[in-house]
Amino acid sequence: MSLKKFGVAILIFAVSIAAIAAQTTLVVGQATDPIILDPPMYSDTPTHNVNLLIYDRLYDLSSDGKVVPGLAVDLPKIEENGTKYTIKIKSGVKFHNGQPLTADDVIYSFQRGAFNDKSQMKSIFAMMYEVKKIDNYTFQFRTGFFDKTKAPAGMTDNDLKSFDERGKYYKPAAFGSQLNQLTWLGASIVSKATLEKAQQDGTIKDYGITWAIGSGPFKFDSWKQGDSITLVRNKEYHDSSIQTNVDKIIFKTIRDPSALKSAFLNKEVDLIMNVAPLDAREIEMNGGKILLTNGYFGYHYLAFNMKSPRVGQVNTDGTPDMDGVYDLSSPSATLRMAILYSINPSDIVNSPDIMDKRGKVTLQYVESLPFGHIDDPKGTRIEEGNLKSGYYNPTKAKELFASLPESLKKPGILKCTALSGSVYVKEALVVKDQVKRTLGVDLINIEQVALSELATRRSKSDPEVWDLLVNWTQTDDSYYIFVAFDGFNTSLLHDTKFYTKAAQEWIDKGNSLPNGPERNVAYQNAQKEILKAVPRVPLVAIMGISASQQNISGVFLSPSGSFMLDNVVKK
């Protein structure tokens, strides 16, 4: 070996060492492990944050809630009264394993999200049918409903297992939220060729756990369960306009919130998500940056299990009344009202341990986004309340409660489920305390349950016990009112299953209209109808709180509270 060669080798070695040393690593602390890096299969926030970087979607939401093209070239061409969408996607995009991304992958991803047994994101594709490829980079689909009259007797929507089959029995209907929904993580694009091959060789069962292939700005590198996930920069990312200098992102799982905060204060992590308000105070004092969502992104509410016969209405034969006409003078409705008037949500807002004043009392279900938000409170229940103490009115609460039969005044007759170990437990404790103090009876028993158990509890709710659920939802799109209150929606956390004919008609109308003022009015009217029966007591509106070190820039929070890290820069 010549001296020159040796010198070159040394140089290369030195350069590569320097390169490794100069690698910029961003560490994101999260409170729980992501569940699975397979977009339609799960969507809690930690999973969201990772998947947003690995996968691309056709459209994304900007920080102020606008839909912007991602993999799509432009906004879709929508025709035939809003029932036919044509979307062109960018050419030359490659998956992390080098496979090109084409319309086939998009159709495959949608098909998978819509019909895979384990998919939790079926609702995104619930109205889609006749999804067709036009050319390699263009595709088309229609939206509509299952039409019973077209189908043979006994067939239901659930029996249809592909978009083509749906084509035979669907009739066109507009779905104004469809575009917003394509920005959801569940509508991410996966590689058809890769997954079909994995299906054959059996490696599919570890997909999203030991391997994951997307087309996003960062590639999956490794996952140490319970500890960390490492992503590395995708040097061939199609969108060269992104401005990150980060080569590696480590998502570190730190279960204990106080440990997470200490790790941040000790600069062991660069970014943390879902900071407790009390911690935010301390972080600011110690020179960290606090990132907030643009407006209130979530609503905490007390939901009555309306499917449970005793809470909703019962037909004479004991079956739950599903026709959507509620007798607001029945004892169960009276008790619901008594509870509504017993609660003062300002305790939740003011409690340093819960919101530390970073939030507000809310009187309606959709607070800050334009859709469904009621501007004129006249003629609604909102008139009865105020933004200081909600609907709190102890005199009225006691009056209503006094009129109830003794059987509804026993301690512990209401069971309130709350996600175990979460802030909802604390809110439930506040609610329990207030109900007890206003009505003089400790009506509520709190039960902490695991996420996976919530579904079981709700579908099997004990007819002898009422269920209250402290829960939350986020309104990253206009679709909220539909998701939360549509009588036919059955997604996991949106459980109230509340249905009134009048509200449903407004929701249907809102759904059929494209984004715009008319649609807002429809959703507002739906909310007015719902507020009459109060299937949920609105409590507080929250902001997403996250924190970053001072040397980090370019991070913003999506309206749903996830980190958008495409342009993150670490100095």
Partner 1 sequence: MTRYIFRRLLMIVPVLVGVTFIVFSLTYISPGDPARMILPQDATDADISHMRHLMGLDEPFLLQYVHFLFGFKSPSEDASFSYKGLLALDLGRSYVSNRPVFKTILERFPNTALLAILALILSVILSIPAGIISATHQYSVSDMVVSILSLLGLSMPAFWLGMILIWIFSVKLRIFPSLANPANLKSLVLPVITLATMNTAVQARMTRSSMLEVIRQDYIRTARAKGLDEKKVIRKHALNNALIPVVTVIGLQVGQLLVGAVLTETVFSYPGIGTIMVDAIQRKDTPQILASVVFVAIIFALVNLIVDIVYAFIDPRIKAQYESMSKARSNGAARKGT
Partner 2 sequence: MEKKLRTPHATRPSARKSAKQKTAFQEFWRRFKKNRLAVAGFVIVVIYILMAIFADLFFSYDFITENQISNAFAPPLTTAEIDLNNGATAQHLYILGADNFGRDILGRIIHGARVSMVIGFTTIAFAGIVGSALGAIAGYYGGKIESVIMRGTDILLAIPNILFALAIVAALGPSFQNLLLAIGITSIPAFVRLMRASVLTLKNQEFIEAARALGARDFRIIVRHIMPNCMAPIIVQATLGIAQSILSATSLSFLGLGIQPPSPEWGNMLSDARSYISYAPHTLLFPGLAIMTVILAYNLIGDGLRDALDPKLKR
Task: Give me the residues that bind partner 1 (CB under 8 A), please.
Answer: 33, 35-36, 120, 202, 205, 209, 224-227, 253-256, 258-260, 262-263, 266, 268, 420-421, 449-453, 455-456, 458-460, 490-492, 495
| Tokens (6 digits) for 385 | 């309340």
Which of the listed partners (partner 1, partner 2, none) does 432 bind, with a CB threshold of 5 to 8 Å by partner kind? partner 2
User: Of these partners, partner 1, partner 2, none, which one is at the site of residue 429 (CB under 5 to 8 Å by kind)?
Assistant: partner 2
340's tokens = 């509504």
226 binds, among partner 1, partner 2, none (CB under 5 to 8 A by kind): partner 1
For residue 36, CA distances in Å to 50, 115, 294 come to: 10, 18, 28
Closest approach of partner 1 to the CB of residue 417, in Å: 13
Instruction: Specify the residue, 93 or 418, whose C-beta has the smaller distance to partner 1.
Output: 418
Looking at the Cβ atoms of 460 and 571, the one nearer to partner 1 is 460
Distances (CA, A) of 315 to 77, 333, 498, 532, 533: 47, 15, 16, 21, 18
Q: 166 or 458: whose CB is closer to partner 1?
A: 458
Q: Considering only CA atoms, which of 316, 291, 339 is closest in space to residue 466?
A: 339
State phi, psi for 74 to the nearest 5 degrees.
-155, 180
Tokens of 93: 């995009």
Q: Which is nearer to partner 2, 147 or 433 (CB)?
A: 433
Residue of 564, 45, 547 lying closest to 264 (CA atoms): 547
User: 56, 562, 534: which is closest to 298 by C-alpha?
Assistant: 562
Is the CB of 51 or the CB of 351 nearer to partner 2?
351
Q: How far is the CB of 163 from partner 2 (least distance, A)?
A: 43
Could you tell which of partner 1, partner 2, none binds residue 404, using a CB distance below 5 to 8 A set by kind? none
**Residue 63: which of partner 2, partner 1, none does it interact with, CB under 5 to 8 A by kind?**
none
d(CA 190, CA 300): 33
Query: What residue 446 binds from partner 1, partner 2, none (CB within 5 to 8 A, per partner kind)?
Result: partner 2
Residue 165 or 353: the one with the smaller Cβ distance to partner 2 is 353
Between residues 133 and 248, which has the closer beta carbon with respect to partner 1? 248
Q: What is the 3-state secondary structure (H, E, C) of 329-371?
A: CCHHHHHHHHHHHHCCCHHHHHCCCCCCCCEEECCCCCCCCCC
Least separation in angstroms between CB 411 and partner 2 = 13
Contact footprint for partner 2 (CB under 8 A): 256-258, 276, 278, 282, 347, 350-353, 420-421, 425-426, 429-430, 432-434, 436-437, 446, 448
User: Residue 425 Cβ, how far from partner 2 at the closest point, in Å?
Assistant: 8
Residue 541 CB, shortest distance to partner 1, in Å, is 26
Nearer to partner 1, 24 or 262 (CB): 262
Q: Are 453 and 401 in contact (CB under 8 A)?
A: no
Q: Which does 224 bind (CB under 5 to 8 A by kind): partner 2, partner 1, none?
A: partner 1
Report the 10 Å Cβ neighbour count for 403. Answer: 11
Interior/surface letters 236-257, b for 16+ CB within 10 angstroms, e for the rest: ebbeeeeebebbebbbbbbeeb
| Cβ pair 70, 56 in contact under 8 A | yes
C-beta closer to partner 1: residue 92 or 226: 226
Binding partner of 437, given partner 2, partner 1, none, CB within 5-8 angstroms per partner class: partner 2
Q: Looking at the DSSP assignment, which residues form a beta bridge with residue 207?
A: 211
Gyration radius of the chain over CA positions: 25
Residue with tokens 């109205």: 127
Query: Minimum CB separation from partner 1 for residue 462, in Å?
Result: 12
Report in angstroms how near the CB of residue 468 gets to partner 1 at its nearest: 18
In terms of CB distance, is 106 or 349 closer to partner 2?
Answer: 349
Of residues 265 and 292, the one with the C-beta less far from partner 2: 265
CB of 461 to partner 1, least distance (A): 12
Q: Which does 433 bind (CB under 5 to 8 A by kind): partner 2, partner 1, none?
A: partner 2
Half-sphere exposure at residue 19, Cβ-oriented, CA atoms within 13 angstroms: 7
Beta bridge partners of 77: 86
Place of tokens 């939740």: 348
Give min distance, CB of 351 to partner 1, in A. 22
Element holding 220 (H helix, E strand): strand 218-224
- Interacting partner of 189 out of partner 2, partner 1, none (Cβ under 5 to 8 A depending on kind): none
Name the minimum Å distance from CB 35 to partner 2.
Answer: 21
Q: What distance, in Å, lies between the first and last C-alpha atoms of the chain? A: 41
Sorted by sequence, the CB contacts under 8 Å of residue 331 that are 6+ apart come out as 404, 405, 408
Closest CB 250 distance from partner 1, rounded Å: 12
Which residues are bridge partners to 419 per DSSP?
449
